[in-house]
Amino acid sequence: MKKFTLFVYILLTLTACNQGPKNHQHGGDGSGKQKVADTTVHYSQEKHLANVRQLTFGGDNAEAYFSFDSEMIVFQSNNPVWGLDCDQIFYTRLDSSKMDKEMPQRISTGLGRTTCSYFMPGDSTIVFASTHMGNGSCPLTPAKREDGKYVWPIYSDYEIFVADLKGNIIDTLTNFEGYDAEATVSPKGDKIVFTSLRTGDLELFTMNIDGSDLKQVTTGLGYDGGAFFSADGTKLVFRASRPQSPEEQADYKKLLKEGLVLPTNMEIYTCNVDGSDLKQVTKLGKANWAPFFTPSGDKIIFSSNHHSEKGWQFNLFSVNLDGSGLEQITHDKVFDAFPMFSFDGKKLIFSSNRNNGGSHNTNLFIADWVQ
């Protein structure tokens, strides 16, 4: 598989919460010869990581987020060994996880496609988005377009639900005939931020954890999503596309009417929870996404392919809030993304193509964070 073809594959195999690529490792280099599988779990350059441990062992596993007590994780997977052909939501305790041998507790219904789960205050319920109220089947990813553009789907059946740890849905937080997804919860336990198409553009909104007091946060034309709160609950970090020229803006609007967006140009932004003090943090070009505040609160960790000539290699980087001090954190040859710190600041969890036996698998890894 040539690098360009791999980049196309990256853009077409996506996950919605942080709308990013996964499941794109390959076993050859286009020459017909099989590459020797890289068994590295921890690269020597990764000085901020220690005691790196692999948690999952097959399929696509991504968007893993810690419980408030930092003892559990919730994530999405389509591991075929678990009988899945579409992303579903699971949770597990870290001290007893045996996902190399058994399937953890499923939270979602098993119908449709799910994305972006997060623990609610008290760690006894989980919020997530699902399309299961549609026709119940796994929605298709877009076919390759005649115009050559590589796009993300924005499924209109996504709504945001709350379930208990047995998978019983106990609340529905949104009811809009259009995209509602990408929900995450404030560390203060009072607010949820999510992305919605209810204004006609993909904007950030906040609501109380019971779905009340809906407020719009962003207003700029473009895709705002994958938002997370700062540790004190006062700020948001998110990724956004901002079409600039009249042609780019017209193209964005046309695709959006088709339920599609272009993924190739995104930068990291911050703002106050009410949308004020909006700042663009990165100006790196290409795709910068999956941001999360570091435990110190003065940096952001995120995934980027800006350093990749062909655009197919994604690694984790950190940057100061003013955009200075860019530092590469991970060094897998293909894909690292979806970083989240535990609430006690001691652990980092992320998804990676490392140690997948030369397969397409994307697995979860957890590490001690070294400041």
Backbone conformation region of residue 45, classed left if phi is above 0, alpha if psi is from -120 to 50, else beta: alpha
- Total count of domains within the chain: 1
Which pLDDT band holds residue 194 (cuts at 50, 70, 90)? very high
Which pLDDT band holds residue 37 (cuts at 50, 70, 90)? confident
Q: Quick check: 42 pLDDT over 70?
A: yes
What CATH number is given to the structural domain containing 284? 2.120.10.30
Q: Quick check: 2 pLDDT over 50?
A: no
Q: What is the mean pLDDT of residues 192-214?
A: 98
Per-residue pLDDT reduced to its tens digit, 124-181: 999 999 999 998 999 988 888 888 888 899 999 999 999 999 999 999 999 999 999 9
Which pLDDT band holds residue 206 (cuts at 50, 70, 90)? very high
- Give me the pLDDT at residue 35, please: 55
Q: What contacts 324, CB < 8 A, 6 or more positions away?
A: none
Per-residue pLDDT reduced to its tens digit, 74-126: 999 999 999 999 999 999 999 999 999 999 999 999 999 999 999 999 999 99
Q: Quick check: 7 pLDDT over 90?
A: no
- Give me the pLDDT at residue 274, please: 98
Q: What is the mean pLDDT of residues 199-217?
A: 98
HEC profile for 225-255?
EEEEECCCCCEEEEEECCCCCHHHHHHHHHH
CA neighbor of 366 nearest in space, from 74, 17, 25, 49 = 49
Amino acid at 81: V
- Give the C-alpha separation, 16 to 141, whole Å: 12
Q: Tokens at residue 274, please?
A: 């009410």
Sole residue written with tokens 């990764």? 46
CA neighbor of 363 nearest in space, from 72, 37, 115, 75 = 75
In order of 239, 244, 284, the CA distances from 247 in angstroms are 22, 8, 22
Per-residue pLDDT reduced to its tens digit, 265-285: 999 999 999 999 999 999 999
Q: What is the DSSP letter of 342?
A: -
- Give me the pLDDT at residue 10, please: 43
Per-residue pLDDT reduced to its tens digit, 219-261: 999 999 999 999 999 999 999 999 999 999 999 999 999 999 9
Q: Quick check: 9 pLDDT over 50?
A: no
Rg of the chain taking only CA atoms, in angstroms = 19
Per-residue pLDDT reduced to its tens digit, 11-28: 434 444 655 554 443 333
- Give the C-alpha separation, 113 to 156, whole Å: 12
- Give me the pLDDT at residue 5, please: 34
Q: Quick check: 32 pLDDT over 70?
A: no
Percent helix / strand / coil, the chain, rounded to 5: 5, 40, 55
- Give the C-alpha separation, 335 to 25, whole Å: 8
Q: Tokens at residue 263, please?
A: 């993924």
CA neighbor of 17 nearest in space, from 172, 224, 188, 300 = 224
Which pLDDT band holds residue 1 (cuts at 50, 70, 90)? very low
User: Where are any strands of DSSP class E within 283-346?
Assistant: 288-293, 299-304, 315-320, 327-328, 336-341
- Give me the pLDDT at residue 28, please: 39
* Mean pLDDT over the full length of the chain: 91
Mapped onto helix, strand or coil, the DSSP state of residue 256 is: helix
- Give me the pLDDT at residue 19, please: 55
Q: What is the pTM of this model?
A: 0.92
Per-residue pLDDT reduced to its tens digit, 290-348: 999 999 999 999 999 999 998 889 999 999 999 999 999 999 999 999 999 999 999 99
Sole residue written with tokens 């938002």? 227
Q: In which domain, by residue range, is 320 found?
A: 3-369
